[in-house]
A = this chain, B = another copy of it.
Amino acid sequence: MHYLVEQFLSICDSIHFVFFPPVSFMDAIEFARKGKFDAYVAVGGGSVMDTCKAANLYASSPESDLLDFVNAPIGKGKPVTVPLNPLIAVPTTSGTGSETTGIAIFDYEELNAKTGIASRAIKPTLGLIDPLHTLHMPERVIANSGFDVLCHSLESYTALPYHMRSPCPTNPIERPTYQGSNPISDVWAKHALRIVAKYLKRAVKNPDDREARFSMHLASSFAGIGFGNAGVHLCHGMSYPISGLVKTYRAKDYNVEHPIVPHGLSVVLTSPAVFSFTASMCPERHLEAAEILGADIRTAKIKDAGLVLADTLRKFLFDLNVDDGLSAVGYTTADIPALVKGTLPQERVTKLSPRSHSEDELSCLFEASMKLY
C-alpha cells in the first residue's frame, strides 16, 4: 500500500472506514450525510473524485439543495462558506487532473447535459500521484484520458487572459476558480503539452512502456494545476452535450452497461474545428502549440495558425485511431440544434473562449466536427 495512505490510516485508526462505490451524486451525498464521516479517500477516475468532492461538500452543508452550489445559470452558484473535511484523492486514470482542482462535474439528467460545481473549497487536501495505480487502464482508456490532458493544456493555454475576463473583480482574491489564462497556468499548460507530445502515442501503443505511462500520469496532474486555475473553453463546453446526448455509441474498452462517449473523446473530437475558430485571437499561441505537437512552423504564416494547429491535431488523432468525428459516434446534422442547446448553459467555460461566438457559430463548429479526416 502506498506509504502516505498507510500513514494516513495509522494516524486515524480510531476512525471507522466505510467503502462506498459511487452511483450518483445524490446517492453519495445522502450516504455521506447519514455517515457523518471525518474524512474521505477517493480512489478512481474523474467521476469518482468529483462525486467524493460533492459528497464532502453537501455533507458539510446538510441544509443545502444540490443546485445551491451548482454553477449558474443551471444552479444558483452560491459561494461555499462552510469548512469541509479532508479529502485524499488517488487518481487511477491519467486525464482528469481532478485531484488538483476545485471542480466537480456531473450529469444533470433533467437537462441531459453535464454541469458542475466550481469552488476552491472542494479541492482535495492531498493527491497521491502514483502511476502504479494506472497500470490497469486498457488501450482506449489511456488514449481518451490522454486526449483530456491534451485539451486541458490547449484550452487553458489559449483561454481568454485573466485580465480580459469580465466582469473584472474589484479585488484579485475574488477572481473565480476559472480566472482565464495567466503566467502561472501557462507554465503548467505548456509543460503538460510537451509531455503529451512526447509520450501519449508511446503510452497508447505499448502498455508496457512504463516511462510513457508514468510521464502521462504526471502530465495529467500538471495540466490539472494549469486548467484548474485558468479554465478550459469550447472543446469542454461543447463536450458536455456530446457525452450527455449519446444515443447508442459504446466506446471500446469501457466496461459499462450503457451507451457512452468517454469524456476525453467527446472533448477532442471538436478540437480541430475549435482551434481553427479561436486562432485569430492569439495566433502565436496556436502556432506554438502546433510546434510543440510536432509541426514544422518555420515557414508557417501567422494568419494560418488555426489551420496549422488543426492539421497537426488531425494527424495526431489519426495516428491514435480516433473515430472519424461526431458522425462516427452517432450524431447527424439533425442533432446539431440539440448539441448547441446543450452547450449554451456551459457559460462557466464557454465564456473563457478567446473568441466570442453566436449560436450559429457553435452550429458551424459542430458541423465541421462531423468528420475529421
Contacts and interface: CB of A to CB of B under 8 A. Distances in A.
A218 interface: yes
A275 B55 CA distance: 52
A3 B187 CA distance: 25
A166 interface: no
A7 B188 CA distance: 29
Given A190-B191, A191-B190, A183 B218 contact: yes
Contacts of A167: none
Contacts of A188: 187
Nearest to A194: B190
Interface string A2-35: 0110010000000000000000000000000000
A172 B4 contact: yes
Contacts of A162: none
Contacts of A7: 171
A218 B172 CA distance: 18
A222 interface: yes
A191 B3 CA distance: 31
Contacts of A222: 187
Identical chains in the assembly = 2
Contacts of A172: 3-4
Contact of A187 (B4, B171, B191): B191
Nearest to A215: B183
Interface in A291-308: none
Contacts of A3: 172
A241 B18 CA distance: 59
A212 to B, nearest CB: 15
Contact of A191 (B171, B191, B218): B191
A294 B191 CA distance: 19
A231 to B, nearest CB: 20
Interface in A178-204: 183, 187-188, 190-191
Contacts of A183: 218
Contacts of A191: 187, 190-191
Interface in A143-186: 171-172, 183
A158 to B, nearest CB: 18
Interface in A206-244: 218, 222
Nearest to A129: B183
A7 B7 CA distance: 42
Contacts of A187: 187-188, 191, 222
A327 to B, nearest CB: 39
Interface string A67-102: 000000000000000000000000000000000000
Nearest 8 A/B pairs, CB to CB: A187-B191, A183-B218, A187-B187, A187-B222, A191-B191, A7-B171, A187-B188, A4-B172
10 contacts: A3-B172, A4-B172, A7-B171, A183-B218, A187-B187, A187-B188, A187-B191, A187-B222, A190-B191, A191-B191
Interface of A: 3-4, 7, 171-172, 183, 187-188, 190-191, 218, 222
Given A4-B172, A7-B171, A191-B191, 7 more contacts: A3-B172, A183-B218, A187-B187, A187-B188, A187-B191, A187-B222, A190-B191
